[in-house]
A and B are shown apart, each in its own frame.
Chain A
Amino acid sequence: MTGTYPSVVDPDIIAAEQDLARRVAALVAPEEDELFTVLDGVYRKDPARLTAHGPGSDEMLGFGVETLAALVTPVVLASVTEVVRYLTEQYGSTVRARLSLRRARPSAADAEPAVPHLDDAQLAHVRAIVLDKCAQAGLEEGRSRLLADSVAGALRDAV
């Protein structure tokens, strides 16, 4: 699994990403909820490092039979980043303007979503992006589908 963070960082977009990712992670991996803040912080600094495997299995005074865990939160973070990038490419200034408005007038968030309504094709593309990320991360198929549905559902219902 690899991931790169956009070189141009917009605080509003990051906030939106975090919000989306937290909601999705709580749905698909509630057992990781305590990790989200830390993992998100690490991901913002160096996405590639978070998605690496970490220390080997024969560390002195380690456990010795460590196996790679299927941590979902890093996949969620990477998927959401890609999805938001796709959305900003699709809607550009519209998304940024609406996010700015939501920041200036929080009451507007309920009245108007950050992105315009997504049609089925766009939602299918979002799902494809997520599934692709899941496949890169080696996530099992059922969980991948759940994650894709969660992202698509969150965009359709709440964004």
Chain B
Amino acid sequence: MSMTAAGPHRPVSAVVSGTTLRFVSLVMAIIGTGTFAFSVVYTRLPGNAGLSMMTYARCNELRRPGQLGLTLDPAAIEAAERDSLRASRCLEAMELAQTAWIMAGLALLLAVAFGLYLAAPWWTRRRAGLVPITADGFPRLHAALNELVTDSGLRRPPRFVLAPHAAVRGGLAFGRAGRYWVRVNAGLVPLRVTDPAAFRAVVLHELAHLRNRDVDIAYATMALWRAFVAVALLPMAVAIVQPRILTDPLSAPWVNPDYPRDLLNTGSRTVLFVLIVYLVRNSVLRTRELLADARAAEHGAADGLRAVMAAAAARRTSPSWLRRFGVHPAVAARLRAIDHPLTTLRPGFAEMFGAGMTTMLAAGSLTLVGGLGLPHDGTPAGRYIAWLLAPVVVGVLAMAAWRAEALSPRASVLPAALGFSLGCLLGDLASVLNLGGMWGVFGGPVGRGRMALAGSVEVGNLSLTAGLVGATAFTIGIVLVAAACAAGARAWPPGGYGRWAWLAGAAATVTPFAVWFGIWLELRPAPFLIGRFYHLTAADFTTLGERLWQGPGFALFSAVYPPLQLFAARPLVVPAFVVACLYPLAALLPRRVAVRPADAGAEPVNGPPAPEPGPPGRRGVRSAVLTGLAGAGAFVVLTLVLRAVLHQAAYDAPGIVSYHSYAQLALAIAVQAVVGGVLAARQRRGLMLGQVAALTCAAAVIVGEQGASVLGRCVPPLRLREGTCNAGIDLAYADFLLDAVVVQGVLGALAVGVLVLLLKRAAAVFPGLVPARPRVRSAILTATTAVLVAVGVAAGSTLTAMTDTPAAVAVPAPTRSGAAVARVLTQAEVQRVADAARPVLPRHWRTLPESTSSGTAVLDDPEHCTALVDEEYLTGRDGPEPVVAHGRWTDGDKITTSSIKVTVRSYPQPVPSAMFTAAENAQQACRRFTYTTGEGMQLHYTVSAVSPPALGDQAWRVDLAMTAESSGMSFQGALVIVLIRIGHTLVQVTYDAFSEPVDEELLRKVLDSAAGAVP
């Protein structure tokens, strides 16, 4: 058979395939889910379920999420963080015990996997009755096989064994590290004589599996998967189906009302996980098969492979779609791999999607175990896990970038990056850890009502807007890493330093991504925190006792982006970010002449040769540095002009210094963005040079700003406020500015550079519309870019302005006395008021039945506290009885529970203010008391006064903190009573929280809704 269909000779094996990393991702997902399975089983052990529940209830009482809200008070934030740390330490002992169990399970799983891995070759030989192919028993066959081993380039020949029962014409590579076998089917042996090319193709294909190290990876993964099924998955499935398997196996699990939901939720996710692992494993194996075909073809098996494939295609019986899910690719794909080996390197959307899914499945589970076992020092586990997973993520993306670069013509890495990002996001949703209503980026009950964006679209408990914010933030990070890797791959020809350059690229970008990923993992379950950090910026100024002067364009200037601020503030990020940006330029260093594999052996056909790939020249770098310095010079001039204008317009205004600082920051970033845009428009490798220019500009801006500050302090027309002239250097501000301009400035330069390139590309599509004169063309490009950037920034500042009004900062409800009807309400009206709170309660709250508790309670201090406890302030009025209605709801009958009771009384006369005076007196008289229930349980209460809400004609509130002890366990709770007087109507809201904090936000909503419903 001729070789006319073959493409140019390209050593596909010289380019990193990345399938090993995809396997690593898969293995991490299996191990991660295994740890989750062990944690599930742990909670089913006798005594553990109750202990866990009690401990979590007790320790979580130390947290004060309800009080954290969106408060901007730094002291409250600090207290909340302190409480969180205390709660974390409270859980430490129990969680470490659980971790020890999980680790033991993991050790068992790995031991079983190792045993299976070692035993697999033995079992394969035994089951199939394989016979060694020796020189004595099979002299001609043995010689032919050894010849092929030499052709394949394998240093150590495998052991060949014959499968006498296998009549099919095939083979199999198997074994374990250091000992490899190739099974030769009996049906294949005659081909050595009758069809030597086919015989050679099959054997070289199997030898290519050995050469590509597929056997080690594939069999290790299979062993791990089988061990996972036996040791982790099956026990977990049993524990899910019968949660009381170890305590009361004969009981009916469906008696628990949560059972069907839990079973469906965890069960469906587990099934989904198994399906994902199966499909991803097969996807990776299909890639390995293509690479084995490509390598076998490199060693002279192309003709035989084509013949075998063609014959197989002619008699194909199974549907082609089945091939999409098997471990071998379709024949057409294999023929492509033989004829055009580099096509196997194209980073596909689907394969990257699968890699993303397994990566995030691993992230979810490992975060759980990390939270249990890592030091309980208040550091979120996601921050550690991000460092564990970031090398895999960056490695996979770098691999995609290098593979895309190796293709001829070059492929874009963008679809691969988007596929990976989408896979990660959906993998996050599919994680077994994300229970219903707690789905990762979509937020959960904790985040409800506190979303960063005003007008957040919510469906059930999920915020689609928060999901969009989180998904976009994550995708931007992924695309930037892929872009950095692609720039490196473009600058470093694969034929030069090969795999080392790829590895160096991954190492250069892993630190910034790990930090970004860690921030994302932290913020993912609580997207409202993104909004909250905006307000922390303002809170800093509040702490300093400084009011901000909100002059012209303040919203624009103060458009600081919290995730980026957090990112830049983390240690080592700025230098690591600089390294990642400059890494591609390292290709400028002296190196040996490299030949790109894509071009090797390919003769130029027509036209001029393609532009030389690789990094920009030294002239380009010099140009970028000069442009950056020019930008810094412009910054200094403009900042002095700004000072002069502010001196004239708002001299010594409160907060003007802060205003100026923000304006300076915005100015520096804008200058860097312009610099990036200019280089993108004018230079080859403009994006890469734009980074150099932006970094140069950043460094020069720091120096220039200090000089401008000295001038500003010493030259009267440039002063912003009264002060003395001094030449001191403000290192703290320089550090702040450096962090901001390095990260945000470089990203701004990149964004504008990309925009310029997109506009140029768009213009190339419509050449008739582009003016012929270069100056006019440049002017139009500049104007269009400026308009688009202005629109984008305006949109961003609008978004910021929206987030500046968080939903949780409640606007006081208007007083209703003026509008309230001056009459007693009807029973229907009263009931409507009592029921008004229902819509604002979370969906899982349900109606609370009337209390049926009996027995006589005893009060230890009746003299001072009976009036408060028995609510005597509500009674003692002469006249007809009021019209009364009740509404009662609870969030469950778990050990931690809250209930809200709304009682509405409408009187023929206006509610007297004396009632509130009596309530206040009752509260003042009683500071603390002990209440012994009819069941003998002692509840200790401490009474405290709290500012009432600004509702109705008059409002009153009392808070009672409760502690109790039972069976050696201590419990805490809170009781809040609020009275609101609105004309003839008295609204009483009682919020009772047991082993969980009072949700102040929810209480406020209930009060607003009830008061607002009074006619």
Give me the interface of A with B, judged by CB distance under 8 Å.
29-32, 34-35, 37-39, 41-42, 49-50, 52-55, 57-69, 71, 74
Contacts and interface: CB of A to CB of B under 8 A. Distances in A.
B187 A68 contact: yes
A42 B311 contact: no
Contacts of B288: 61
B185 interface: yes
A61 B174 contact: yes
Interface in B108-136: 128-129, 131
16 contacts: A31-B194, A34-B137, A35-B164, A35-B186, A38-B131, A41-B164, A55-B128, A62-B172, A63-B170, A67-B168, A67-B311, A67-B315, A68-B168, A68-B187, A69-B186, A71-B187
A36 to B, nearest CB: 11
A54 B190 contact: no
A61 B218 contact: yes
A60 B218 contact: yes
A63 B166 contact: no
Contact of A63 (B171, B174, B215): B171
B326 interface: yes
Given A29-B190, A31-B193, A54-B163, A67 B169 contact: yes
B122 to A, nearest CB: 17
B788 interface: no
B162 interface: yes
Give the interface centre of B185, B215, B285 by most chain A CB atoms within 10 Å.
B185
A24 B163 CA distance: 23
B410 interface: no
Given A38-B131, A63-B202, A71 B167 contact: yes
Contact of B309 (A42, A59, A61, A65): A65
B128 A61 contact: no
Contacts of A68: 167-169, 187
Contacts of B129: 42
B209 A61 contact: yes
Contacts of A49: 165
Interface residues of B, number: 53
B214 interface: yes
A62 B215 contact: no
A74 B188 CA distance: 14
Interface in B284-321: 285, 288-289, 308-309, 311-312, 315
Contacts of A31: 189-190, 192-194
A74 B309 CA distance: 27
Contacts of B140: 34
Contacts of B172: 55, 59, 61-63
B168 A61 contact: no
A124 B311 CA distance: 37
Given A64-B334, A69-B187, 14 more contacts: A32-B189, A35-B189, A37-B137, A38-B137, A38-B164, A39-B164, A53-B168, A55-B163, A55-B166, A58-B326, A59-B172, A64-B170, A65-B170, A69-B185
The 7 closest A-B CB pairs, nearest first, are A69-B187, A64-B328, A54-B166, A66-B170, A31-B193, A66-B168, A65-B312
Given A42-B164, A66-B169, A58 B312 contact: no
Contacts of A61: 172-174, 206, 209, 214-215, 218, 285, 288
Contacts of A42: 129, 164-165
B240 to A, nearest CB: 29
Interface of B: 128-129, 131, 137-141, 162-174, 185-194, 202, 205-206, 209, 214-215, 218, 222, 285, 288-289, 308-309, 311-312, 315, 326-329, 331, 334
Given A34-B140, A55-B128, A69-B169, A63 B206 contact: yes
Contacts of B222: 60
A68 B311 CA distance: 12
A58 B327 contact: yes
B171 A54 contact: no
A53 B166 CA distance: 6
Contact of B165 (A29, A52, A66): A52
B170 A57 contact: yes
Given A53-B168, A54-B166, A57-B170, A69 B190 contact: yes
A54 B218 contact: no
B189 A34 contact: yes
B215 A54 contact: no
Contacts of B187: 54, 66, 68-69, 71
A34 B165 contact: no
Nearest to B205: A63
B408 to A, nearest CB: 27
B135 to A, nearest CB: 12
A51 to B, nearest CB: 8
Contacts of A66: 168-170, 185, 187
Give the interface centre of A61, A62, A71 by most chain B CB atoms within 10 Å.
A61
Give the interface centre of A41, A42, A50, A63 by most chain B CB atoms within 10 Å.
A63
A67 B312 contact: yes
Contacts of B328: 57-58, 62, 64-65
Contacts of B191: 69
Give the interface centre of B169, B170, B187, B288 by most chain A CB atoms within 10 Å.
B170
Contacts of A67: 168-169, 311-312, 315
A71 B327 contact: no
A74 B186 CA distance: 11
A60 B327 contact: yes
Contacts of B186: 35, 38-39, 69, 71
Nearest to B203: A63
A37 B133 CA distance: 13
Nearest to A53: B167
A42 B130 CA distance: 11
B480 to A, nearest CB: 36
Contacts of B131: 38
A16 to B, nearest CB: 22
Contacts of A69: 167-169, 185-188, 190-191
A14 B193 CA distance: 29
B125 to A, nearest CB: 13
Contacts of B163: 54-55
A42 B328 CA distance: 30
Nearest to B331: A65
B6 to A, nearest CB: 19
A109 B173 CA distance: 47
A38 B131 CA distance: 8
A31 B209 CA distance: 27
A61 B327 CA distance: 8
A34 B194 contact: no
A54 B167 contact: yes
B205 to A, nearest CB: 6
Given A38-B131, A62-B170, A63-B171, A50 B312 contact: no
A64 to B, nearest CB: 3
Contacts of A35: 162, 164, 186, 189-190
B715 to A, nearest CB: 77
Contacts of A37: 137
Give the interface centre of A29, A35, A62, A67 by most chain B CB atoms within 10 Å.
A62
B364 to A, nearest CB: 27
A50 to B, nearest CB: 6
A57 B168 contact: yes
A54 B137 CA distance: 22
Nearest to B175: A61
Nearest to B165: A54
Give the interface centre of B222, B315, B328 by most chain A CB atoms within 10 Å.
B328
A121 to B, nearest CB: 34
A73 to B, nearest CB: 8
A68 B186 CA distance: 11
Nearest to B170: A66
Contacts of A52: 165, 167
A65 B186 CA distance: 15
Contacts of A32: 189-190
A29 B194 CA distance: 10
Give the interface centre of A52, A55, A64 by most chain B CB atoms within 10 Å.
A64
